[in-house]
Every structure is written in structure tokens, then in C-alpha cells.
Chain A
Amino acid sequence: EADIYQTPRYLVIGTGKKITLECSQTMGHDKMYWYQQDPGMELHLIHYSYGVNSTEKGDLSSESTVSRIRTEHFPLTLESARPSHTSQYLCASTAGGPSYRFNNEQFFGPGTRLTVL
């Protein structure tokens, strides 16, 4: 079982503010992901990382940026928040390699619900 932490769980901010959504995992997973999900809608991959200093954009274009300086930490930043960024942001990581029973099983954090006024 993987432990993935996301902070804050809820965030309400004004337009134009810079925000960072935190995501960390304690299992040493090399692969981490950020998804965006509007209420009742599908998940969309916005960023992913396969290791330290490696980040890629996902299928859905996003104005956010990410960094991966440490294996366990994968923060997402919005330089200037807008109402269109209002959504739920979900972080995930994947176990892989011969030491895991279920290779490449993906685990999710609890999510951050962002509201931009």
C-alpha cells in the first residue's frame, strides 16, 4: 500500500495569486502523475514524471508547471490563478520493478479541490 499526501485539501484563492499544490509519497515510487478532474467529469493527465529531473506534459494542456527535484516530492505550481483553473487536482504514483507484487499499480492521493474566485 502506498501513502500519498496532498496539501492543501481545499484552497480558495483570488485571481492572480501564485499557488503551489504539494504532493509527496513515501514509497520511493519513481513515476508520479498529476490529473485534473472537474466534478462528474473524466480524469485528464496534465503532467507526469518518470524520475528526478524528468517532467513531461500530459494529454490535457495546462498552464501549470511541475518540478521533480526529489523522488518523493512532485509539486504543481500555478503562477497566476484564474477562475478557469477551478477544479480538483489529483496526484498519483506508480509502483514498479521486481520488488512489488503488483507491478505498475497506480495509487492516488486524496486530491486538492481548488477554487479561484
Chain B
Amino acid sequence: KQEVTQIPAALSVPEGENLVLNCSFTDSAIYNLQWFRQDPGKGLTSLLLIQSSQREQTSGRLNASLDKSSGRSTLYIAASQPGDSATYLCAVLPSNDYKLSFGAGTTVTVRA
């Protein structure tokens, strides 16, 4: 059974600092890995999706890397802003199914 772990569980940084969020998974037989953002009481917003054959994806200030062999992905957010405060979840899609396995998330607070 795929286990997805996100460390740290919570993170507080001053505005302008770069954010580094970690995600690890136990089974490397994945189809893709997706990073989501969730604001309190809201649904999830898809940020980036990395296919298993890719090493990284970028969108604006966000960059996600994937090392499938070691079971790790990292989400980098450059020059953080208070509006980046949210919970960030990673999820992996196995290569033989259509159900995502989610991590518990990292809750980020960016202090003005």
C-alpha cells in the first residue's frame, strides 16, 4: 500500500523567504505526482502535476521536482507572500490504478 508522507507538518516563514516543502512516497511505481493547495474550508486547487517520466515542472514562482527512484518530490515556492499561506498537499497516482494517495499536508504561514 502506497504511503505518502509530508514533512514538516507546519511551517512559518517571514515574507520573501523561499519555501521548501517535502513529499516522500514508498512505492516508486507511480503514473504521476500532483501538488495541491487548500485554503481553510475550501476545496483543493491543483498547482502542478509531474508525470513519472519528468524530473520537474514549473509554474510562475512554483517549481516541483520528482525523484521517482528515491520516492521524493519537493515543491519550491520562491519569494513567499502572505497570500501563499495555505495547506499544501501532494498526491501520487499509482501506475496501475486511478485512485490518488494523499499526504497529510504541510500547513504554511507566511508572516508579513
- A31 on the B face (CB < 8 A): yes
CA distance A48 to B91 in the complex (A): 16
- A45 on the B face (CB < 8 A): yes
Are B42's CB and A110's CB within 8 A?
yes
Are A104's CB and B31's CB within 8 A?
yes
Q: In whole Å, how far is A100's beta carbon from the nearest beta carbon of chain B?
A: 11
Q: How many residues of A contact B (CB 8 A)?
A: 26
CA distance A59 to B66 in the complex (A): 26
Q: Which residues of A contact B41 (CB under 8 A)?
A: 39, 88, 111, 113
List A43-93 residues whose CB lies under 8 Å from chain B.
43, 45, 48, 50, 58, 88, 90, 92
Are B93's CB and A45's CB within 8 A?
no
Interface string of B39-71 (1 = CB under 8 A from A): 001111110010100000000000000000000
Top 3 nearest A-B pairs (CB, nearest first) are A108-B43, A108-B44, A111-B43
Further 7 A-B residue pairs, CB within 8 A, beyond A33-B99, A39-B41: A6-B43, A45-B100, A88-B41, A104-B31, A104-B93, A108-B43, A113-B41
25 A-B pairs with CB atoms under 8 Å apart are A6-B43, A33-B99, A39-B41, A42-B105, A43-B102, A45-B99, A48-B99, A88-B41, A90-B43, A94-B98, A102-B32, A102-B51, A103-B31, A103-B32, A103-B51, A105-B32, A105-B46, A106-B46, A106-B100, A108-B43, A108-B46, A109-B43, A110-B42, A111-B41, A111-B43
Residues of B within 8 A of A (CB): 31-32, 34, 36, 41-46, 49, 51, 89, 91, 93, 98-100, 102, 104-105
Residues of A within 8 A of B (CB): 6, 31, 33, 39, 42-43, 45, 48, 50, 58, 88, 90, 92, 94, 96, 102-111, 113
